[in-house]
Structure formats: C-alpha cells, structure tokens
Structure 1
Amino acid sequence: MRQQRFSRLPFSYLLASLLLLALALWLALGDFNAFRRDAPADTISEPAPTRVEIQQIESMDYTPVQVVQGELEAARDVALRASVEGFVQDKPVKQGERVSQGDTLLVLDNDALPERLKEARDNVELARAELAGAEKLRRRELIAKSELLRRRAALSQGIAEVARLEKQQADTRPQAPFAGRLDRISVDLGELVQPGEEWGRLIADDTLKGIGWVSQQDVGPLEEGQRVTARLLNGNALEGTLTHVASRAEDDTRSFYMEATLANPEHRGLAGASAELSVELPTRRVHTLSPALLRLNDSGELSVRHVGDDDCVRQSAVELISADTDRAYVAGLPDPTRLITLGAGLVEPDDPVKTVPADGANQGER
C-alpha cells in the first residue's frame, strides 16, 4: 500500500526534495577551498608594471636673467650756476651742441673786475718791496720783529686777494667741467646774471645710468660687474655692466636700489626714458622640460618624477631657475635623466614601471 502511495507522488515533489537535500549538504559542508591555507599554485600572479613614456634628457649650460623694471639717467647731469655777477656778453656754444672739457660756455662782462685785479697786483708788488726793505732793516736791528711780521702778513693778504680776483675773472668765462652736451641755456645776451643763478645745464650723454629697484627675494644673485642689457620701449637696446647694488633695503618698499652703467656711443637722448634692465646671472647646469611635468612633493617642494636605473620611479626635488609658458629650467636632477613624460600621475615613487620611449618632444601628463 505504501509503495503504491509513494509511487503516486507527483514527480515535481520528488525533484524539489532532491534539490532541498543538495542545498542542505552544501550549507553544512561549505566551500572547502575557502578554508585552505594556500591558494592554488595556478592563481598566484604578480601585477603587470604600469607603462610610462620616458625621454632621456641631459643637462646644459644656461645663463639665467634677472629682469628689473627701471629707467635711464644721464651719467652726469649738472646745473650750471653763475659764480659772479655780470651781464651776458657772449654765448660761444649754442644750446644742444656738444662740448669738450674746458670749453668756454658763457662770457660775462664785469667792467670793474679788471681794474680791481690790476690794483691788487700792484699792491702785491708794493708789499713785496716793503717786505724786502724790512728784512734788511731787521738784520741791522733797526725795526722790531713784529713790524717784519706785519709786512709779511700784508704780502700774504695781497697774494690771496689777487688769487680771489683771478678766480672771479675766470668765473666770468665758465668752462665745461666735462665733455657732454649743453642741454639748455636759459639766459639771453645782455641779461644780468647774479651769483648762484642757474643759467644752463650740461649733460654727459656718452654713457647712461640704468637704475631700478630689486625685491629682497631677487637681490641675492646680483653682483657688481654682471652684464646688463637695457631694452627700451621702442625696441632699442644698450649694453653695460652692473656697477652698484645697495647693501640696505628701503624701509618703505623693502627693495634694493641697483645701478648699471650703459654705453651710449651714438649719444642718443635717452635720459629719463623707461627701460627693462636684464641682468645676466652666473651660468648654471640645468635640465629643460615642460612646466606641466613639475609637481609638489609631500614637503611642498617642486619636484620631477623620473625612472631610475632599476626601472623604478624616482621623485627628485628641483630648483626652478627660470620658466616661461613653454619651458622650465631646473637644477637638481641626475645627469642624464630618464624623464617620465606620460603616466607620472599613475605611479608613485619606488613603483616598478615598464618604460616606453616618448614620441617627439616632452609633453605633460594626459
């Protein structure tokens, strides 16, 4: 009877019972492979090294340039002032003409001065004769020593007066203290000039001074004797040398005054013009690369990632010597350097990599 009842059970019930039994056995026994201490030998594999593009670069000599905004001044710029009173009698040099040292620039007329000078010279001759007679009398002890001394003092005073008047006479014909250009004459013929009055201006234009102010961050490499190029707004340039760098910064700006001497062989009138002063700094050995390859390390320093001889990533801190929109010039890399030009952002220092030569010039990460 039971056998007949069992055989009458639907086939679907039988199939469900078998599946339930199999599930119970799987839950009871579990996946024995999960409890094995060691994975199967055929499941262990090392990760493939990351592919990076590299380019080998070598160091080169590079002369960095410190650019300072400044202006040009005449090497010597003197206001000419009258030393004596007089009427303008002649102007031997026209305004704007070049003169040599010692040339007469102006002639003043002082009618009383020649007579005064003649009188002073006559007084000197008289004092000299009286002194000679006093010395003879003193040798014979016919006059006191004090009288002899008074005669000597009178002669000295006479000589000093002649020198003073001769200086005044020379001042009526002022001469050029140096070679240059008589840039301005501000008096006319017949005009009365008073002592101390400015009547002209003399400028030495064979050389110019380039002056500027340098920040305290940039003044360190500057030294006297370095080559300087002054570029003007019209594109012209003057060459010279750095002749002075202040030892103390200005209190209000914390910047340092600098001065360069520039040759102006064509005597161009450039005093007062604005100029860009480019100072050549000492030559350095540098590597050149794209600015996009620069990064900051954990210490906040600029660094570059490259590949060592063991094909592992290296990250070296560098000093940025100069940079523009296309190139960066850095110091601190080994020479030569296998520079990572593509893929540096996918690896970390000491990671092994598979290197592929870069096509063409250096490029940034992509």
Structure 2
Amino acid sequence: MPKIKVHKIVAIAVLIATAAWVITGEFSSVGSAADEAEAARAAAPEQEQAPLRTVAVVKPPRLQHSRAIRISGHTDADKRAILGTRAAGVVEELPVRQGSQVKRGDVIAKLQAEGKEAAVETARQLLSQREAEGKAAQRLAERGSMPALQLDNAMSALASARSQLEMAQADLDRNILRAPFDGVIDKVDVELGSSVQVGATVATLLNLDPILARGEVSERDLRYVKPGDKADVRLVNGQEVEGEVRYISRDATSATRTFRVEVAIPNEDRSVPAGMTAEITLRADPVDSTVLPRSVVSLSRDGDLGVRAVDADDKVVFYPIDLVDDTPRGLVLGGIPADVRIIVAGQELISEGDAVNPVEADQETINKLIGEATGGTL
C-alpha cells in the first residue's frame, strides 16, 4: 500500500478547518463590527459631536438708492448740418471761418450775382407798371368805360408780373447761404473767390448746446430707464457732467439687441466737444437697498451670486442679490429682506441649511469690512 505524503495531509487539514469556519458564520462579524461602530457614533450624545461653527452677523441699514446702469458711448452734436450751395458761381463773400459763432439767418457765404440783381430790379419795375395799369383798368371798369374782359387781362398781367418778381428774387437768394440754426462753424470747405457748383459743400455747422451723450442700453435694463431720468457722464479726459435722458429708441439694434439712448447735457460754454468717448451712468428710480462690502458676496450651490444669512432657527439661508450700484463705498444690493442677519465672516466655510452659532460682529470687524461706507458703523 503506497504511503500518503505529508504535504497532502496538511492541505486536507487546512481545507477542513476553513470549511468549518465558514459554516459557523463567524466571518460576518467583520461587517457587523463596522455597523455597530457606526451605530455607536450615531447614538453618541449630542455634546460629543463637533461643535457648531461660529459666524459673525450684522443687520445692515436700509437706504433708498438710485439704480445705476453703466454703458459706454460717445458725445455728439445736438444738430449737425453740412451746408451746400444752391447755385453755381464764384464765392464773393465768406464772412465766417472755423470756430465762428453764428445765429440762425446769418450769412455763411455769398456768390456773385452775375446779373441776377438786375433781373430782380427789372421784374420790380414791371410789377409797378402792371399795378398802375390794373388800378386804371379797375377805375374804367367801375365807370363802365372798359369791358370786363380787358379788366381780366389787366389783372392777369399784374399777377404774372408778381410771379416774375418772386422768381427773380428766389434766383438771387440762391446765391446767399444762411445758417439754418444757432451754432458754431466746425469746418469751412471753400475759399474766397473759388468757383463752386450746385450742391458743393461750403461749411459744417454744429449746435453743441445741449450736447448729446449717445449709448446703447441692454434689453434687460431697458425697463429701468425712461425719458427724464438723470444721468452722469464721465468723459475720457476725466471731466464729469450731468444730463437728462432725452430719448430712448423703441427699435433694438439687430446685431446686439440693444436700444439707443440719448442724454442731453447743458453745454453753454461748449467745453464738451462732439465725438469724445464717454461712460454714461443712467440713474433710475430709487429702490430699497443696503450697502455691503464686496467680500460678503458669495456663490450658491447653483452658482448664483448672493449673500448668506441666518434665519430665526440659526440656520444658513442664501439670498440672490440684485446689484443696484457698485460704488467706492461698497456694493449697493437689492433683493435682501429687511431685518435679515447677514453673515459677514465665515460665510465661505458653510452651506445652505447648516446650523451655525451666530454672533454679532464686533466693531473692529465692522470697520474692517465697511470702512468708509457708513462712517465705520452699520
């Protein structure tokens, strides 16, 4: 009979021992121990859990602040006219030059008459003659010494003479170019003695009082703006002026879906030129708002911009904000309920729904956050 080897006997023993351990079910104690440990932690007394996070809160003051809508734009003349000749001829008089101030009706340029004045005088003499003949014809007709047909002929000749005079005078007036409105001569395109054709450009006339600041407002902000609202205009050279919204287009630009806005700015001294880059701040009606430092603003789980606060149960809530204005003093925010406690320190370490330990912010924290916003107090 062959002898059984030792290593086979050892293998059989290990197999029998393993089968016996599996049958007893003792291996389940590993998972059970983990479950028991988790249950023990859940059942631990509340005082043994991590303490609530402490956050600093404030009740910011309320104020009425005008909504600021900032847009880019440029200045432009209130009126702009390119003056051209209505007749051909030679420039005989040119009483203006660049920068000249003119009133409505002032002569800008005059062409040589070239016989047109004589035509006017001839027509005037003919009219005088026809008027005399017409009066004589009327007297004769009243006495019955002239047929009615001859009287009609005399009246017709009188009307024709008047028409000829008007035509001759109109032809002469075409030689004189006058200012259509008050303004300043920005450019002169001809010289004294030069020959010009009909429609030739003589000068450019601008009316700079008021001057306009033109820009385009987005369709989202259109509802906040109306004619008559105040507007602040900051020019690229640092000059700041104030105006009033004069016109808002009701037809959006097709490419940008924005609406043209015109702000009229008093400019009696003409210190504001046309064509200068400007930042226009439109001031809408005041709304209930509060001033808070930029550091208080955070993002929600959904990526919305807002502030975190503490409700009556000392739990964290999130309020989306409406940016009313961005000032050197801080952000002017709308959409925040009254008497809410805003978290000003520790808001980045908590989430909505967390229970916290709110404490009133000390004066040092307030001064650091607000600075000059309200004189160091909230």
Q: Distance in 1 between matches of 2:56 and 2:116?
A: 92
SS in 2 for 1:123: helix
What CA deviation, in whole Å up to 9, does each residue of 1:13-58 have, x standing for no partner? xxxxxxxxxxxxxxxxxxxxxxxxxx9xxx7556665422212211
Question: Aligned match of 1:151 in 151, 154, 177?
Answer: 154
Aligned to 1:128: 131
Q: Does 1:59 align with 2:66?
A: no
Aligned to 1:187: 190
With 71-80 and 147-156 compared, the bigger mean Cα shift is at 147-156
Aligned to 2:245: 242
Q: Does 1:108 align with 2:111?
A: yes
The answer as to whether partners of 2:124 and 2:165 remain within 8 angstroms in 1 is yes
With 264-273 and 279-288 compared, the bigger mean Cα shift is at 264-273
The answer as to whether partners of 1:320 and 1:331 remain within 8 angstroms in 2 is yes
Aligned to 2:274: 271
Aligned to 1:6: none
CA 1:209–1:321: 2 relative to 1, 3 Å: same
Q: Distance in 2 between matches of 1:45 and 1:254?
A: 58
Amino acid at match of 2:182: A
Amino acid at match of 1:134: A
Q: Distance in 1 between matches of 2:52 and 2:241?
A: 56
Question: Aligned match of 2:324 in 316, 321, 324?
Answer: 321
Aligned to 2:75: 72
Give 1:1-366 correspondences, 5 Å limit.
45=46, 49-140=52-143, 143-268=146-271, 270-295=273-298, 302-309=305-312, 311-323=314-326, 327-344=330-347, 352-359=355-362, 360-361=365-366
Structure 1 stretches lacking a partner, 5+ long: 1-38
Structure 2 stretches lacking a partner, 5+ long: 1-39, 370-378
The answer as to whether partners of 1:205 and 1:268 remain within 8 angstroms in 2 is no
The answer as to whether partners of 1:58 and 1:337 remain within 8 angstroms in 2 is no
What CA deviation, in whole Å up to 9, does each residue of 1:250-273 have, x standing for no partner? 223322111111222332362222
Q: Distance in 1 between matches of 2:194 and 2:316?
A: 85
User: What value does the CA root-mean-square deviation take over the aligned residues?
Assistant: 3.2
Amino acid at match of 1:231: R
Amino acid at match of 2:236: L
Tell me which structure has the larger Cα radius of gyration: 1
For normalisation by structure 2, the TM-score amounts to 0.74
Aligned to 1:29: none
SS in 2 for 1:57: coil
CA 1:130–1:311: 2 relative to 1, 3 Å: same
With 174-183 and 291-300 compared, the bigger mean Cα shift is at 291-300
Q: Return the offset for 1:120.
A: 0.6
The answer as to whether partners of 2:79 and 2:207 remain within 8 angstroms in 1 is yes
What CA deviation, in whole Å up to 9, does each residue of 1:67-113 have, x standing for no partner? 12111111222112222333222222333222233333323221311
Q: Distance in 2 between matches of 1:271 and 1:345?
A: 48
Q: Report percent identity of matched pairs.
A: 25
The answer as to whether partners of 2:104 and 2:180 remain within 8 angstroms in 1 is yes
Q: Distance in 1 between matches of 2:265 and 2:333?
A: 31
Q: Distance in 1 between matches of 2:270 and 2:351?
A: 61
The answer as to whether partners of 1:287 and 1:330 remain within 8 angstroms in 2 is yes
Q: Return the offset for 1:144.
A: 5.0
Q: Distance in 1 between matches of 2:319 and 2:68?
A: 25
Q: Distance in 2 between matches of 1:273 and 1:243?
A: 19
Q: Distance in 2 between matches of 1:88 and 1:333?
A: 70
Number of residue pairs the alignment of both structures matches: 324
Q: Distance in 1 between matches of 2:165 and 2:240?
A: 52
